[in-house]
Amino acid sequence: MKRSHKPGPRLFAEPETPAARLEGAYFANIDGAARGNPGPASYGVVLRRPDGSPLESLGKYIGRATNNVAEYYALIAALDYAAANGVRRLRVGSDSQLIVNQMKGLYKVKDAGLKPLHERARKQAAALESFSIQYVPREQNREADSLANAALDATSGGSAAGRTSQSSTPDHFSGKNLTASNLVDEQKFGPNKKRIRARFRAGALHPAAPLDLHEGEEVEIIIERRPR
């Protein structure tokens, strides 16, 4: 009599869902950029509707970080957007094999700086009805890469420091373009202050970017309504 062999348990639960449940899923291309490792860093996210039409583009400078940290910020930004906008099915494409395989549970997360980001992304992914992440070649990820580099160039941390640019990254919270001057303005608050845009939905504020707060940490929130 043949005995069936069952594979041993993985260190992390597999976050992906069956292909049948991914029908009608939104798609996000994500990318992180860092000039130096660590160095000035940013992320870019391009979201598309299930029919492939453009939905949203996000780009943000995140300060000094490694490229892998920036990649996780991009993933978390895509998941934050999904949570804030009622997206229940999401497929993600990334050109970082490390992040893809860590999210799939194929690689262990050894870097202490990546562990909290990985845990957050896993929890957010698990909260969706369906989630999938896959590796895509860099040439298929150019839009997200361009957004990340544009956000980096528009800050004092980029190679084009102080440059005034006409190119912009859409800001999905205000409905206006997030220009180079807007991005620089958001970096003027010092190490203990940070300006974050958020959307109020279902009785809670959903930030546009990771907050990097410790559990139980107390912060002060000042509400400023953005023009629609």
Task: Tell me the pLDDT tens digit for each residue of 202-216.
Answer: 566 767 666 666 556
Does residue 29 surpass a pLDDT of 80? yes
Report which of 48, 46, 51, 74 is spatially closest to residue 61, judged by C-alpha positions. 74
| pLDDT reported for residue 203 | 62
Token pair recorded at residue 119: 């845990």
Give the pLDDT mean for 193-204: 66
> Rounded to whole angstroms, what are the CA distances from 128 to 13, 27, 56, 135, 216?
15, 13, 19, 20, 25
| pLDDT reported for residue 221 | 79
- What the chain holds in terms of domains, given with CATH numbers, is 21-207 (3.30.420.10)
| pLDDT reported for residue 216 | 61
Question: Residues of the chain with pLDDT > 70: what percent?
Answer: 63
| pLDDT reported for residue 154 | 87
Q: Residues with Cβ < 8 Å from 145, sequence gap 6 or more? A: 31, 33, 44, 95, 138
Token pair recorded at residue 2: 């043949």
Report residue 226's pLDDT band, with 50, 70 and 90 as the boundaries: low
| pLDDT reported for residue 99 | 98
pLDDT in tens, 83-115: 999 999 999 999 999 999 999 999 999 999 999
pLDDT in tens, 55-78: 999 999 999 999 999 999 999 999
pLDDT in tens, 118-135: 999 999 999 999 999 999
